[in-house]
Amino acid sequence: MDVHILLVEDNMDHAELVARGLEEVYPKARVIHLTDGEMALNYLFRLPPFGVNNPKPDFVLLDLRLPKIDGLEVLRRIKADPSLRSLPVIILTTSAADSDIASAYQQYVNSYLVKPADYSKFLDLLRDLGLYWAEWNYKVRSTS
């Protein structure tokens, strides 16, 4: 199964762990890694330097603390756009602050996950996340 995942994460170590964990579940997964919120929005809205032929991701893994445009603003813009509104967005962050969790759900996040400090638990979370969003969860099929 081909799975396209947009990973928006400025911490390179975390990004590598996420990519590795997802590859264990889906060896053919295409993980597009971007390091700031502005680039994520440019990718999703097909603005330069990205093109109109970029595949729409099956889901977005989004950190909260990002350079240029933070994760909550990226989430707000995704959910405000009719063409992207149904795209699953999963916050994957180190913050377990109630205020961050509440803010994310107020912006219609699909899921809020806190990165475990333990490496094996982090890999378990990524495996389950990949299975749920790419395999088990039913999505609206394109009608065009």
What domains can be seen in the chain, in order of their start residue?
Answer: 4-136 (3.40.50.2300)
pTM: 0.90
What's the rounded Cα separation, in Å, for the pair 98 and 59?
24
C-alpha pair distances (Å), 45 with each of 31, 41, 71, 96, 112: 18, 6, 16, 29, 23
DSSP labels, 15-83: HHHHHHHHHHH-TT-EEEEESSHHHHHHHHTT-TTS-TTSPPPSEEEE-SS-SSS-HHHHHHHHHHSTT
Q: How far apart are CA 114 and CA 42, in angstroms?
A: 26
pLDDT at 119: 84
Cβ contact 138:57 at 8 Å? no
Specify the pLDDT at position 1. 59
Tens of pLDDT, residue by residue, the chain (144 residues): 578 899 999 999 989 988 888 887 778 888 999 999 999 999 999 999 998 888 889 899 999 999 999 999 999 999 999 999 999 999 999 999 999 999 999 999 999 999 998 888 988 888 888 788 877 877 766 644
